[in-house]
Structure formats: structure tokens, C-alpha cells
Amino acid sequence: MTFLLYLGKVMLCSGILLGYYWLFLRNRRFHHYNRFYLQATLLLSVVLPFVRIPVLNTPHSRMSHAVYQTLEVLTVNYGEEETGKAGPGALERLLTLENALYLFYIIGIVILLGLLIRSLLYIKRISKQYPFERIGGLKFFSTREPGTPFSFFRSIFWNNDLAFNSRDGQQIFRHELFHVEQKHSTDIILTEIVTAFFWFNPFFNLLKKELKAIHEFLADQYAISDNDRYAYAELLVLQTLKANHISITNYFFQNHIKRRIAMITNNQRTRYSYRSRLMALPVFALVFCSIALYAQRSANSVTKIFRPGYAEKPITVVIDAGHGGIDPGAASLDGKVKEKDLALDICKKIQQLAASYNVNVVMTRTDDNLPGGTTVIHDGLRARTEITEKAKADLFIAIHVSSTDPKNPDPTRSGIEVYIPNKESDRTNQSKQLGSVLVQELSTLYATDPTLKQRPQNIWVLEQTPCPALLIECGFITNDKDLAFISNSGNQEAVAKKILEGIVNFKNKPAAAANAITTGQPVVKTTPVEKPKPATVTAAPAVQVIPASMELPVAQTQPAEPTASLIESAIAIAQIPDPVIAKISRHFNRNTRYPQKLMESNAEAVVYFSVSVDKNGDFSNLQFYNEAPAKASPLSKLTVVGYGPAPTGQLSAEESQNLFREEVKRVFERKADLSNSVPQAEQYFFRAAWVLEKDIPKTV
């Protein structure tokens, strides 16, 4: 959590809670409750942003099975140059807007803490200057100081001009005695310290004033009785002193005179007071959920989405935020935005989203420093390659932002560019394949150069890393359109998602598709249809079952030896998928479960079925088959993987098959959302495989 994010959460939390107080609790007569509420608002606002409570969540992959082809590679003389160039001087690095804001913030804290210390020293000085006598457990000082009488912790500072034994004197004494007994000074010191550190937060300043008013309301109630409340109000008006008061004491002639008199003279009970107080609980719960809870994947429950060739092992990718520290990289035309900051923002977005894509991200830097804590640019480049070697990474991706000459910017240079290594090798060929995947992914989001780039002068991190490597220039920082796009946090997250989608699709492509990538020809995997296998009873780990299935089907054909026409048909289906099949598969994925009875029996099966869809998107005519029917073309595959407890019983193959079919019926009794999808066929055929994992899956 960054410091600015923390301060923003503090302000949000205090604003919501104080807003509820202002609307429903302020100027009500339940002062003890209001005191507690304001204290809780202060503490929760400061502490709650530090609390992070994980909520188990199983993200569903949005990857689609796609086919890619290698793009043209173009050699250029421009682009990223990783050479040792002089960075800004020490004075220039210090004189930044960010540092100026931090300095202004610290000055505010120092001033307010100084005023607090001065008030404490004043109380200490007058406590030594005037004599006191002990009354019970408190000290009673007789003074002639302006602003008295007032109380501070276990001390009451009295004004000798006020007769102690008079009716007015006794009421004022009871007032100050209540402050002492209720430890109101503790509230004030705490709010003064918190307000000093959060002086920019207007809600804390309002809270401090309201808490002092509540103290006075409580003390006034204690000091008077029903018979003399109007006389007490008259005392407040006639003897209000005009002297300056210090802010950390509880003095009798406090401000809020109008509100205090209203509270004293108003003897009516407010209706619905209990309702107003109880409604604060949902407000606290709302703030708590908004600030403290965050989604985290379950350690024991995982939804898997299987597709041909998809790897279950996490992909380790080194994500390198270009430049950093003394090396700012390129800058916007006005000099306010630096490449190193934009690159780091995008990389952090990739790191935050990576777990949902089963990608293990290793960052070369996470703050404004060169990798490895170095202070020399060349050492930072070496540290990047050392980090990659140590992590045994599968891929290396460097994130940069390009630029043109700031003195003579070229407005025609725009869009995202992808660079690959220069030397010809197997690693470079794999980098070409990865680059082709990412270019096609990114081009759906923003203008992207359709050719891969190479530089005659080697780019260090691309040539020295031991794995397939890319450098992505996420637009031109000297182009206003590109700068506006890549500076937006939402767009940065969208770019991060596209990069992660490309990584997963590249790493988990089928072997046949890998061969197609080098030739530029699309390939679709065609396999013979499997016969349904009977239920088996095998050992399974005691892990809670979580269903999983494909979101997008893979076209299949029935013959074991596919002909050329079948392959062409499969290619056409893969290139133009039926949206109804995709939505039915997604509906199946979201609603299916592995029946508990079958889990306990370790039963597995394959269920062939078909379903009809009319023009209104309604299901009908659900049919089951013992094997794939001859007319099933295409046959869409669905896979449900479960992790279950140790076996406790055994079912026959027929019983298992019937229970699995009942589960399919249950799923299709729920209406799916097939809106905006025109059926391309009357009947759709599916093969659903129910598989029990024998090993507990590892989560990311």
C-alpha cells in the first residue's frame, strides 16, 4: 500500500462515518453514545486501512483458445537505447513536485505538534507558578490566569475571582469535576495528535470540534438538575469570558454556547433515537468491507479451465520496468511525466493481476530505484539479467515507453511497438512467436505496429537473458494521444491484461499450433472421439470439490484419421466460433458441480448429450447418448475436474452414469443468457468428461 493510497483511505473512511454522524446523530441527546461513536470513527479511520482480510475467490479465466501466426520482422535504427547516459543531478532529483508536497505535509505536522507542545508547556508553567491543594485524588490550583477555570487530566485550575462556595461556583466545579472523572483530556490529546498528522483531512478537524462539544454537553448534564437548568443557561451567557483559551483543556466557558443552551433547555426526547444508533452498525460494516476486504484465491479450492495443451504449472515471467532511479528514461514534452514512472505503473498492474492467469511474476524493480539497489545504469542492466537467471524464468518482458526528439517531435509516430532479440537462435525464434501473440492481443486494445522490431545495435536485456525475451514500447510519450492513453490507470490495467492473456496463450498453445506459428498457417487439433469409460474407484485427496469447465469449446471431429475436408471444416469453426456454443459452455461452467455422492465414490464418466436452442434462446430437447452420434459435428468438449475426499463407497458404472446425467439435466433446467446470439444450428452436441484429480493442485 502506498502512502498516498493510505491517506486517501483514511479520508474516505472518516468522511463516510462522520457524514452519518452529521446526518443522524448530531445534536441528539444520547451524548455518551456519540462520544463513543466519534472515538471509534477516529481510531477506525487510522487503523482500518492497514487491515487486509482476504476473501477467498476463484477467478475464472477469460482466455480463449486462439491461433497465431508469426508476423514480419523489421530491422530499424531507432528505438530503445540502453546505454549509460548521465542522469539528473542531485539537486534536480530533489527539486520535484512530489518532494515539495511531502515537505509541505511535514511542515504542517511540525507546526501543529509545536502548538501542542507549547500548550503543554503553558500548563506545566502555571502548575508550578500557583499553589494547589489536594481534593480527593485531584489537584486544585487557585490562579488568576485568563481562561480559567479549566481542567486538565487530574488537575482543576480555578479563577480566584469566582467564589467557590457560591451556587454558580459549585455548578462550575461539578462541571469541571465531571471532565476529570470521565478522562476527557485523554480524548483531546489523542485527537490533537491524530489531527496533527492528518491536518489536511477536514473531517478530522470537524470531528475534534464535535468531540469537544460532546464533552461539554455531558458535563452540563452532570452539573445541573431539572430545577435550575435555566439559571445554568443564564450563567453560561452572562459569564462567558472573552479571553483566549488553549485547545487542549476542558474549560467551563467553552464555545458552542448556543448548542449547549439548546441542549440544557430542551427536555424533549428525540424519537427513533435507538433506531438512529443501531443504524450505525451497517455503516461500520460497509466501511469495513470497503476498506479491509480484498479478494484472494482459496488455498484449498481452485477452479481449473482445461483446454488442449494448457499447462497447469505456473508460468514464471520476469517483468522489467524500464529505467529507474537516476535513469528517468524519456519524458513528456512538458517534462512532468517520466518513462520510468509509467513503466513501473504498468508492471505493477501486471503483478497484481498475474495470479488470476496462473502466472508467477518476478519484478526487477518495485520502486524508483535501479534493480539490485545499484546506482550505476550499466550495473542495473546486469542486475536485470542476473534476476532472470536466478528466477529460472520462462519468459522475460521489458516494459518501456518510446519517444521522438522532444525539440522536434514527430506527431506521426504513435502506437505500441514490440522489439525482439537481434541474434538468430532458437531463443529468438521463440521470442518471435511470443511477440506475434502479444502484438495480436494488444492490437485489439490500441494502435499497435503489426511488425516486430529489431535493432542492429543490441538491446542488452534482450540479448543477455537466457529465455525468450521481448521489449514492449507502450506508445510514445511525446505523442499527446499516446500519453493520454497510457497515463490512464484503467488503460494501464487493460494493457496488463492483454499482456497476461498473450503470455498464457503463447505458453500453453498445442504443439501443432507451435509448428503453425513458424509457417504462418493456422492449425486446429483434431482427435478421435473417445468412447465413454466406466466409472472407476480410485483414491483421491481430501480436498473440497470445485467444478471447472471450458468457457470456449474446441472444435472436434469424429474420425480417427481426419480428411482434408474435415480439417478445413475445423479451421473454419475455430476462426468463426458459434457464439451460442460459447455461451452454452460458459453457462455449463458456471452452474455445474461434481455430485457429492459421486465424489465420495471416486466415480468418473464421459457424458455425451445434445441440446436444442430456439430463436428465443430457450433450451429444449435435451438428449443423452452412449457414444458420440454420427451426426455430432462439431462436438464441443467440456471438462469438469473435481478434488474430493477419501472414498467412502462404491457405485456401479450405470449408477454413476445416471447421476452424471441428472447433473447435466439440472444445469440445463437453469435458463442461460443467450441474448444477442442467433443460433447457427438447431441442435448442439457436447462431450462432458468428469475427472477426479489424483493430486492436490498447487495454487498461485
- Is residue 369 classed exposed, middle or buried when 0-12, 13-18 and 19+ CB atoms within 10 A define those classes? middle
CB 505 within 8 A of CB 517: no
Nearest-CA neighbor of 149 among 120, 180, 190, 128?
180
pLDDT at position 546: 30
Rg of the chain in Å (alpha carbons): 36
**d(Cα 553, Cα 547) in Å, to the nearest integer?**
16
Q: Residue 272: which residues within 8 A CB-CB, separation 6 or more? A: none
Rounded to a whole number, what is the largest CA-CA distance in the chain? 112
C-alpha cell at 600: 465420495
> What residue type is 602 in one-letter code?
N
> What's the pLDDT tens digit per position in 441-464?
898 899 998 888 888 777 888 888
Nearest-CA neighbor of 459 among 514, 412, 487, 420?
420
- CA separation, residue 492 to residues 273, 362, 403, 605 (Å): 48, 19, 18, 44
Number of H helices, E strands in the chain: 22, 18
C-alpha cell at 542: 481430501
Q: Residue 684: which residues within 8 A CB-CB, separation 6 or more? A: 578, 580, 581, 584, 610, 611, 612, 613, 636
- CA separation, residue 221 to residues 3, 33, 263 (Å): 43, 14, 9
The domains located in the chain, with CATH, are 3-56+272-292 (no CATH), 93-265 (no CATH), 314-519 (3.40.630.40), 564-692 (no CATH)
**d(Cα 514, Cα 426) in Å, to the nearest integer?**
13
Q: DSSP character for 151? A: E
**d(Cα 291, Cα 357) in Å, to the nearest integer?**
25
Residue 83's CB is within 10 A of a number of other CB atoms, namely 9
- Is residue 567 classed exposed, middle or buried when 0-12, 13-18 and 19+ CB atoms within 10 A define those classes? middle
Q: Residue 93: which residues within 8 A CB-CB, separation 6 or more? A: 87, 326
Nearest-CA neighbor of 108 among 199, 193, 192?
199
Q: What angle do CA 639, 644, 649 make, to 5 degrees?
A: 110
CB 439 within 8 A of CB 418: yes
Global pTM exceeds 0.85: no
pLDDT at position 492: 94
Q: What angle do CA 5, 7, 9 make, to 5 degrees?
A: 70
3-state secondary structure string across 529-598:
CCCCCCCCCCCCCCCCCCCCCCCCCCCCCCCCCCCHHHHHHHHHHHHCCCHHHHHHHHHHHHHCCCCHHH
> What residue type is 442 in one-letter code?
L
CB 470 within 8 A of CB 420: yes
**d(Cα 38, Cα 214) in Å, to the nearest integer?**
9
CA dihedral of residues 51, 52, 53, 57 (deg, nearest 10) = 160
**d(Cα 643, Cα 657) in Å, to the nearest integer?**
19
Does the bond joining 645 to the residue before it have cis omega, within 30 degrees of 0? no
Low-confidence ranges of the chain (pLDDT < 70): 1-2, 54-72, 75, 77-94, 225-228, 234, 237-256, 266-277, 280, 292-312, 508-577, 643-646, 648, 671, 673-680, 693-700
> What's the pLDDT tens digit per position in 175-194?
888 888 888 899 999 999 99
Element (H, E) at 166: none
**d(Cα 154, Cα 181) in Å, to the nearest integer?**
8
C-alpha cell at 340: 520510468
CB 685 within 8 A of CB 578: no
- CA separation, residue 571 to residues 41, 87, 390, 530, 671 (Å): 62, 53, 41, 21, 31
C-alpha cell at 345: 505503473
3-state secondary structure string across 648-699:
CCCCCHHHHHHHHHHHHHHHHHCCCCCCCCCCCCCEEEEEEEEEECCCCCCC
C-alpha cell at 484: 493520454
Entry field: residues in the chain: 700
- CA separation, residue 531 to residues 528, 534, 658, 688 (Å): 9, 10, 17, 12
Does the bond joining 149 to the residue before it have cis omega, within 30 degrees of 0? yes
Residue 449 phi, psi (nearest 5): -65, 125
**d(Cα 82, Cα 422) in Å, to the nearest integer?**
14
**d(Cα 95, Cα 174) in Å, to the nearest integer?**
56
